[in-house]
Amino acid sequence: MSRKIVRILNGFALQIRIVLALADRDFLMRAEKGDFGVWGVVFEPLALMLTLLALRILVRVKTVDLMNPLIWLACGITMLYLFRKIAIKALTGVKKGQRMFFYRRIRPLDTLLASALIEARVHASILVMIFVSEAFWFWRIQLDDPGLALIDFLVTVVLAIGIGVSALVIGHRIPIVKTLTKFGLNRLLLWTSGIFFATYQLPGPLRPYVTWNPLLHSVEILRHSINNAYPIPDISLDYLLTCAFLSCGFGLIFYFSNEALLLSDD
C-alpha cells in the first residue's frame, strides 16, 4: 500500500514538473515573439488596461468615491482578462500543442494548466505593480484584507480552469462553439462583470440580471478586500467558491471522458 502511495506521489510530482516546464517554455516563446521581450508579456496587457482607463475618463463613466479610480478599474479589468485568457484561450490550446502530445506524459490538460500558470503570474504582477505605484504616488497603502484578496484571485483561476477545460472539449467536438464563444461570451462577460459599474449602485430589481455571473462576484470581492467599507450587496464568496469547484469538477470529468478525442489529430 505504501509503495502504491509513493508511486502516485511520484507521478503527481512528475506531472507538476511537466506543467512548470511547459509554462516556462510558453513564457519564453511569448517573450521572443513580442517587441519588448519578457517585459512585453506584462506591459502589453497593462497598456491595454491604461487605454481602457483613458477611455473611461473621456466618456466620464460614473464610478465610486470609496476607491482610487485606477485601482477600482484595475480590479475589474485584471480579473476579466485573467479569466478570458485562461478560459477562452483554451479553445485553441489543443491545436497549438498537438505536436507535443507525441510524448506520453504530456496531455492537453497540461498545456491548459501551463497557460493558466502563466496568466496567473502575469496578471498578479500587473495588480502588484498598480498597487505599488498607487502607494508611492499617494504615499499610502490600503489593502484591508490581503487574505481575502489572495483567496479571491486563486478561486478565480480555478473557475477559469474549470470553464476552460469544458470549453476545450466542447470546442473540439463542435467547432462552431469556438466562434460563438469568442464573440458572444466575450461581450456578455464585458458588460456583466462589473468593470464599468459597482453592484451597490444598481437598483435592487436589476441586480439578479448580473449577479448570476461569478466573475462579477470575483471583481467585487477583490475591491472589497482592498477597502472593507466598499459595499457588496448580493455578492458572495460562497457562490464564487461553489461555481469554481463545480465547474472544475464537471470540467475534469468531461475532459477525462473525452481525452482520447483531444489526442487525435483534427
pLDDT digits (tens, 9 = 90+) for 191-240: 888 888 889 888 888 898 899 999 999 999 999 999 898 999 999 999 99
- State the Cα–Cα distance between residues 194 and 233, nearest whole angstrom: 13
For the chain, how far is it from start to end, CA to CA, in angstroms?
41
pTM here is 0.84
Contact 259, 111 (CB under 8 A): no
| pLDDT at residue 148 tops 60 | yes
Which residue ranges make up each domain of the chain?
A: 2-263
Q: How do residues 88-147 score in pLDDT, each as one tens digit?
A: 776 665 555 556 655 566 777 778 888 888 888 888 888 888 888 888 877 777 888 999
Contact 93, 115 (CB under 8 A): yes
Contact 155, 130 (CB under 8 A): no
At residue 232, the 3 state secondary structure works out as coil
Residue 32's Cβ-side half-sphere holds a number of Cα atoms within 13 Å equal to: 6
